[in-house]
Structure 1
Amino acid sequence: MKTRFYFPMIISLLVISVSLLTACGDSDNPLSDTTKPVIDLKSPAEGGVLAIGSEHGVHFEMDLSDDVMLKSYKIEIHNNFDHHSHDTRTAETTVDFTFNKSYDVSEQRTAHIHHHDIVIPANATPGDYHLMVYCTDAAGNEAHVARNIVLSATGGDDGHHEE
């Protein structure tokens, strides 16, 4: 007699538990987002030559997108030298250029980025550098893009033409 009463109650509890667990779909849970954001870096181009000492700043342009929500992006520039040089200048005349800055793009699924925040000082060491862009979405997924760029004291072409 007791078995007849408990068996239907146990089955009912199992059915309710399973239906509650499956009712909360992945689309409602931002932590279930496992897709990395997409970075479409338009400028500077791979192998781009950037002018040292320009007061206008480097033309930087890209599009970011995510299937749920973006959070931030970071730009990092560091040298790609092997520290072998035939330069006749003394070491104090130039400094290895670095740039590292983060930007907030929270509450957006897409963002068009266009700015001139990267200013290369006149005393930056010319040569090969890496430009890295990292983008993180609201769930913490990160994508990155790497470019090889060259800093030049004799000018550059960052692909930007005034309109």
Structure 2
Amino acid sequence: MSRAHCRRALLLGGCLLLATAAAVAQERGAAAPLRETLGRHLQAIQARDLDALLVTVTRGDALTLILPNGKVLTTREEFRQLHVDWFAEDGWRMRFEVRQVREFGDTGIALVHYLSQQRQDDGSYATRREALLSLVFAREQGEWRLVYDQNTVIPPAPAQQ
């Protein structure tokens, strides 16, 4: 074999090795970090962007959503329809503060504090609910996807006398 053939064979072998390494890294979850997916999820809510929100949730049928009033939804379709209806409403905004993000292998948990605010007649916003979100994500084909969403209302502090 000539030197030119040897160089081509080495080059081709190197390219194949790099392509294989890239494929393995992607398969092992080299996709967006959990914090990035969480950020896209919360931004989609603030923007009322249903398509962007659904990219961050499970592709499977089972998705648990526990609403602030205790009602439990158990499917991706129920989650989707609730957000269609909610995003159609005008005059609200959400303020999020990510408190904690933890990964446990193919499971991730986020704790998010939020204020649900309603626009007033004068254009200002008043907080109507303060709550905590417990969001559980699972890796699906290397992507973080929401599988569980629980809203826990923080009761208002008692008035001081």
Normalised TM-score (structure 1): 0.33
Normalised TM-score (structure 2): 0.33
Q: Whose relative contact order is higher, 1 or 2, with alpha carbons under 8 Å and at least 6 apart?
A: 1
Which has the higher Rg, Structure 1 or Structure 2? 1
